[in-house]
Amino acid sequence: MRHRWMTLAGVLIAVALLAGCTRKPAGTTKAEKIVIGWAQWAPADYLQELSKEYTEETGTKVVVEQIPWPQFQDKIFAAFAAADDTYDIVVGDSQWLGRCSDPDSQHYLELTDWMNENLDVDAFSEAALINLGEYPKDSGRYWAVPAETDAVGFAYRRDWFEDPEEMAAFEARYGYALAPPRTWQELRDIAEFFTRPDEKRYGAALYFGKQYDTVTMGAQEVMWSFGGSYGDPETYRVEGILNDEAGVKALEFYIGLRKFAPQGAESFGIGKECVDAFNQGLVAMAEDYFAFFPGLVDPEKNPHATQTGFFPSPAAIGPDGEERHYISIGGQGFSIPRYSKQQEAAKEFIKWFCQEPVQVKWAGLGGFTANRNVLASEEFLKATPYNEAFAACFPHLRDFWAVPEYGELLTVTQTEWNAAVNGQKTAKAAMDAVAKQHTEIFEKAGYYK
């Protein structure tokens, strides 16, 4: 009996030793599989497609796990909170940088030294690198490598815009030619002109919804272009800045566009409802991130695909008479979670991805590269009907607060601005409420000590 127990113990020890010897040490370069966590959208499909080449070259399988947009942030952060090692790379939103790089969370590995040593940092578009990778701003510290750059833009019905009768009628009514709008004021005129509920035609499908960051991304670019601001980025003072005349006028203007949108527009969100309204032939213009536009040039999804044009989010003339042009940045960067057991393998993949020939392929698949050379190439600009408009956005890109408290700040703007869109609050009341609550959040977090 005793002999049998000894044998069993011996076998177990041998198995354990063998397992110990064959187990990959943490941080090894070679990996069988790496898992990338990203939102569910076309660029994630492109990345999955592109990664097949990486698998062929290295033998490492790449799995892009796609999470529906409304659950994207919640699921990734829940994984971080649980120190889950599922994801070797997370393609996270730019607003996450502050929270994920905070010394108290350290969800992201700092990539500054590694990027400076292994990547050509100058090859990235400055706007993409600063907004998608750097935190704090102007610190030179990087937590993410730009993967997919994006910006808010518009699709429009060329057949409606170029109809001679419509053009003549528009010019007679507004005194200038009907063309893709250069300013938000022009966009308003065009939206008003095309709003004909009896014909089931509306002016514009815009970001008004409450899900995730929709209404914030839509309204903030109007606020910035009107001369408004979220607050002082140095002192984090908000009162009297966010709810100043420019801010209030901007929100008043933005919610005023609601009457030119189809029914139910209060819930129109990112990547679905605006595009759906456009595909259904309901609207003359539809707002969305450029990464959602591939569906609009696909005749199987959009019956008006051949008659669809694109333009960047327009500039605006503020209450002070000055013209400014700001566009909400989208897109995400590759970050490596501290909890990944394959951090070196993740770095190897990112390094491979950033090579210019791979970036050319990435752009060819439909990905929005952050590589300056590829962005400026004629091949990229002509690759799709919307790439030129997308490239024109770069000098104007701006982002929401990227501080660790961004989630709370975002909840406030989403609730208050959506309430303003619904007519539950005036623009002034909504802006005052946001200013008050943002101040409270910053105060509680100790920014005013």
Partner 1 sequence: MTTAVARRRRALSDYQVKMLFLMPTLLLLVGMNVFPLIWSLYLSFHRYAADMPGRAPEAVGTANYTALLHDPNLWRYFQITAEFVVLAVGAQFLIGFGVALLLNREFKGKGLVTTLILLPMMLSPAVVGLFWKLIMDPNWGLLNFLIRPVTGAAPAWLTDARTALPSLVMIDTWMWSPFMMLICLAGLNAVPKYLYEAADVDRASGWFKFRHITLPLIGPLLLLALIFRTMDAFKLFDMVWVATAGGPGDVTEMVSVTLYRQAFQNWNTGEACALAYILLVVIIALSNLYIRWLNRVRGEA
Residue 40 makes contact with partner 1 by CB under 8 A:
no
- The 211-240 contact track toward partner 1, x by CB under 8 A, reads x-----------------------------
With respect to partner 1, which residue has the nearer C-beta, 138 or 198? 198
Pairing type for strands 323-324 and 283-289 reads: unpaired
Task: Assess 96 for contact with partner 1 (CB under 8 A).
Answer: no
Measure the CA–CA gap between 204 and 125, rounded to whole angstroms: 31
83 touches partner 1 by CB under 8 A? yes
Q: Does 84 bind partner 1 (CB under 8 A)?
A: no
Of 341, 378, 333, residue with least CA distance to 360: 378
CA proximity to 275, closest of 186, 153, 361, 175:
153
Of 145, 251, 421, 431, the one binding partner 1 (CB under 8 A) is 421
107 touches partner 1 (CB under 8 A): yes
By the rule CB under 8 A, 70 interacts with partner 1: yes
C-beta of 99 vs 325, nearer to partner 1: 99
CA dist 145 → 103, 123, 332 (Å): 19, 12, 8
Query: Measured from the CB of residue 23, what is the shortest distance to partner 1 in angstroms?
Result: 25
Query: Does the protein bind partner 1 through residue 411 (CB under 8 A)?
Result: yes
Residue 428 structure tokens:
């002034």
The verdict on 280 binding partner 1 (CB under 8 A) reads yes
| Rounded distance between C-alpha atoms, residue 38 and residue 19, angstroms | 33
Segment 247 to 266, residues that bind partner 1, using CB under 8 A: 262-266
**Greatest distance between any 2 Cα atoms in the chain:** 103
- CA atoms of 381 and 331, how far apart (whole Å): 18
Residue 77 sits in the site that holds partner 1 (CB under 8 A): yes
User: Which phi and psi (to 5°) does residue 137 adopt?
Assistant: -60, 140
- Which one of 46-54, 66-74, 329-337, 358-366 is the stretch in contact with partner 1 (CB under 8 A)? 66-74
* Shortest separation between residue 311's beta carbon and partner 1, angstroms: 24
Q: 388 vs 154, 231, 368, 379, 383, CA distance in Å?
A: 12, 32, 11, 11, 9
* CB 78 to partner 1: min, Å: 7
Burial 414-428 (b: 16+ CB within 10 A, else e): bbbbbbbbeeebebb
Taking CB under 8 A as the binding criterion, the range among 159-167, 178-186, 293-301, 423-431 that sits at the site for partner 1 is 423-431
When the beta carbons of 163 and 266 are compared against partner 1, the nearer one is 266
Token match 């139910």: residue?
Answer: 264
Q: Which residues here bind partner 1, judged by CB under 8 A?
A: 70, 73-74, 77-78, 80-81, 83, 99, 102-107, 209-211, 262-267, 276-277, 280, 282, 407-408, 410-411, 415-416, 418-425
